[in-house]
Chain A
């Protein structure tokens, strides 16, 4: 590891992806993540890899699909409206069992919305978004450093499970600069394509075929069951979360991404006032850490979920808590980032209510 460098989130993820062995970027510009393709456009030719600006997000995701079919580490990045355009491709990628990484630097919606930071694509990312019974692994960093770290994990998990991994960031994480430390380069020069990759028949007896089509319902059901079996394994093994000051907590805040970093300060502020509150922060929002919430429900008086959306993760928090304790919610919409003071004030109101 080298010294820390000051970098924008949108640039840091690009550098991290390159070091993690990403061989190709396909994408289409959209604020607030234009610095990512810009960075890739400069760096990818320097390291002899592919940067291609497609004519649209629809084209870009299908280029990603194609590259993924060869087992190549490939990425695209976009922001909310662009990600909506890619949903058909995501669904095809899911049923084709091919690995890729997608970063969504979320902005205010719905529709064209605005370009300010938001978390309103949580449902879209964690519950599917495209058609069919599918999931993507979804990671949600809360600092630029964690984004850099999780890019490595994202490529590893994508390869391991042959599936799409989404990184949910927001405009704030994309635009802000923080000091980051990069990891060692992943060796790619001598990397052999996986045996399922469509890279020519070679010595194989039969051709590899990758498709999301199975016209016979009996056949498709088998494919669907296999997909669900894969998701079961992911749920079993890949849940990640962080607990902050939860050991003696009487109350738990739940938050992901940017809001979680703000919530850590809320916890510190409340602790200074003698209020025993902690934070449960999902790092993977799919698979979601339901179990920890169920456990902590035996300990805390209530949960307080904070998001920059109308309460999308709230549903998952409630599923985890399973009715054992009240779950309250506070959120801002439209691209507004809540301040620690404002969150603490709302939290204290709930303390009054719950007395």
Chain B
């Protein structure tokens, strides 16, 4: 098993946290993992992305040139990664701020109104984990339980109080993913 995903959006949307959480969960499950953040000359409001690989085997390059899966949180990210996606790849799309449709028809697209749903949960900032959990549920990269467990490694000290809302976000994302999976069959 080797799963590769790109997570991309605006700086501030929790892109790096989502990536680290997935890597931490993979590590927790005894897998090899790499997490590679984009570190170009970035500017505020620009696009931030990271590459996460979870694998049974040692991982060669941590760079993902052609993603098999991508979690896309803003329009510039869709513009950047859609042409790079592998054939029949999976896109998890933050529909709240990306009303545009994915133009390639070979891609599987799981659209989630993530920011609106996050707002309903009580914090817009957990949109990242709704989308991440949806990805994990569809691709089975790590289990939803491990993702929630990994929250406790990353959210410590002052951030500890954010664990419960993030757990809710993860559960919600996983549920929406199951709806998506049954809609496909």
Known: A261-B58, A261-B60. Is A176-B27 also a contact (CB below 8 A)? Answer: no
Q: How far is the CB of A243 from chain B (nearest CB, A)?
A: 16
The verdict on B47 contacting chain A, using a C-beta distance below 8 Å, is no
CB-based contact B61/A179 at 8 Å: no
Please name all residues of chain A whose beta carbon is closer than 8 Å to the beta carbon of B27 when the two chains form the complex. 4, 6, 179
Contact with B along A172-207 (1 / 0, CB 8 A): 100111110000000000000000000000000000
Complexed CA–CA distance, A156 and B41 (Å): 37
The verdict on B97 contacting chain A, using a C-beta distance below 8 Å, is no
The verdict on A265 contacting chain B, using a C-beta distance below 8 Å, is yes
CB-based contact A6/B35 at 8 Å: yes
Interface size class of A (residues with CB under 8 A): 20 to 34
The verdict on A171 contacting chain B, using a C-beta distance below 8 Å, is yes
Known: A6-B27, A264-B60, A265-B60. Is A177-B39 also a contact (CB below 8 A)? Answer: no
Q: How far is the CB of A149 from chain B (nearest CB, A)?
A: 15
Contact with A along B32-69 (1 / 0, CB 8 A): 11111101110000000000000001111111010000
Q: How far is the CB of B163 from chain A (nearest CB, A)?
A: 18
Question: A115: which of B39, B63, B65 is its contact (CB, 8 Å)?
Answer: B39
Please name all residues of chain B whose beta carbon is closer than 8 Å to the beta carbon of A31 when the two chains form the complex. 39
Please name all residues of chain A whose beta carbon is closer than 8 Å to the beta carbon of B62 when the two chains form the complex. 172, 176
Please name all residues of chain B whose beta carbon is closer than 8 Å to the beta carbon of A338 when the two chains form the complex. 61
The verdict on B174 contacting chain A, using a C-beta distance below 8 Å, is no
The verdict on A227 contacting chain B, using a C-beta distance below 8 Å, is no
Complexed CA–CA distance, A172 and B40 (Å): 12
CB-based contact B23/A265 at 8 Å: no
Please name all residues of chain B whose beta carbon is closer than 8 Å to the beta carbon of A175 when the two chains form the complex. 36-37, 39
Please name all residues of chain A whose beta carbon is closer than 8 Å to the beta carbon of B41 when the two chains form the complex. 115
Residues in chain A within 8 A of chain B (CB atoms): 4, 6, 31-32, 115-116, 171-172, 175-179, 258, 261-266, 268, 337-340
With A4-B27, A265-B61 already in contact, 10 other A-B pairs whose C-beta atoms are closer than 8 Å: A6-B27, A116-B40, A172-B36, A175-B39, A177-B20, A179-B32, A179-B33, A264-B60, A265-B60, A340-B60
A-B contact pairs, 18 of them (CB 8 A): A6-B33, A31-B39, A115-B41, A171-B39, A176-B36, A177-B33, A177-B34, A177-B36, A178-B34, A178-B35, A179-B33, A258-B61, A261-B60, A264-B58, A265-B58, A265-B61, A266-B60, A340-B61
